[in-house]
Homo-oligomer: A and B are copies of this chain.
């Protein structure tokens, strides 16, 4: 079986785009036509909210599955629906895989030792009890927060590696306040560069034929100069780039994330695609598809796959 990075590169090459569609369902923004069987403006229960999320995301997956290679699920919005949301997320991840999509579970999980392993096992479908394996989620990659240090990252890497999956470590995030800790300078370097070095070093032992390892990095599109700088610092690391579209960054600002062959980065665009239509528009599918094609065209100017 191909390793994580090679599998991911294959998906983006086949779709001819580094675009990743981000699924961040929010009740108020979901088409009313979808919400109607679940209560309309006001849901009947959390099960109804989860039902609407599953119905909406399931249809989005069908609409984008021959247009992009990668989708990203934001765990928080499913957690907001309690166990109903988790069950919906399990089925949606499965459906994504069946549609041939590569899946990223954006949960920003973090802990140490066996607790970190428990998160990783849940994400990658490999929880083992009494020697018997039980699948929970079937994600290809998850996002991980690095504050705990390498013993907070390694259990995720080791689980991922055993299943040809991968992780994306938060290195340079896209939010306005990102610099508060990430820009702290020590030994002449900012913290996010230290994190970057650790991530890159974890890839040294497991580089696939595409030239990348299985430990990716989240690098925000809202800091273009740092994308270029981190590309040099982390030549073996795949970037997951949020902040394109709704958060304001254009395609040109993230050109530095790619290698000449178009590999090296996955560009996430959530709300600008999935909520391209207003909630009360009857035809929400065509605006969504057009927004997806528009994002692809913009990215094609800076990344040829």
A interface list, Cβ under 8 A from B: 24, 26-28, 39, 41-43, 45-46, 49, 74, 76-77, 79-84, 86-87, 90, 108-116, 118-119, 121-122, 127, 129-132, 134, 136-137, 145-152, 170, 173, 175-182, 184-187, 191, 194-195, 198
Residue ID in chain B nearest A145 by CB atoms: B145
How far is it, in angstroms, between the C-alpha of A116 and the C-alpha of B131 when the chains are bound? 36
Whether B24 lies near A145 (C-beta < 8 A) is no
How far is it, in angstroms, between the C-alpha of A127 and the C-alpha of B46 when the chains are bound? 9
Whether B181 lies near A149 (C-beta < 8 A) is yes
Whether A83 lies near B74 (C-beta < 8 A) is no
Residue ID in chain B nearest A24 by CB atoms: B115
Q: Which residue of B79, B122, B149, B198 contacts A80 across the interface (Cβ within 8 Å)?
A: B122
Q: Which residue of B41, B115, B130 contacts A43 across the interface (Cβ within 8 Å)?
A: B130
Give the Cβ gap from A41 to chain B, nearest Cβ, in Å: 5
Residue ID in chain B nearest A82 by CB atoms: B136
Contact flag A42-B131 (CB < 8 Å), given A90-B82, A121-B80, A147-B147: yes
Whether A83 lies near B84 (C-beta < 8 A) is yes
How far is it, in angstroms, between the C-alpha of A119 and the C-alpha of B78 when the chains are bound? 9
B residues in contact with A121, CB < 8 Å? 80
B residues in contact with A113, CB < 8 Å? 175
B residues in contact with A115, CB < 8 Å? 24, 74, 76-77
B residues in contact with A132, CB < 8 Å? 42-43
Give the Cβ gap from A250 to chain B, nearest Cβ, in Å: 21
Contact flag A80-B118 (CB < 8 Å), given A177-B148, A191-B191: yes
B residues in contact with A149, CB < 8 Å? 173, 175, 177-182
How far is it, in angstroms, between the C-alpha of A109 and the C-alpha of B83 when the chains are bound? 17
Contact flag A184-B173 (CB < 8 Å), given A132-B42, A134-B49: no
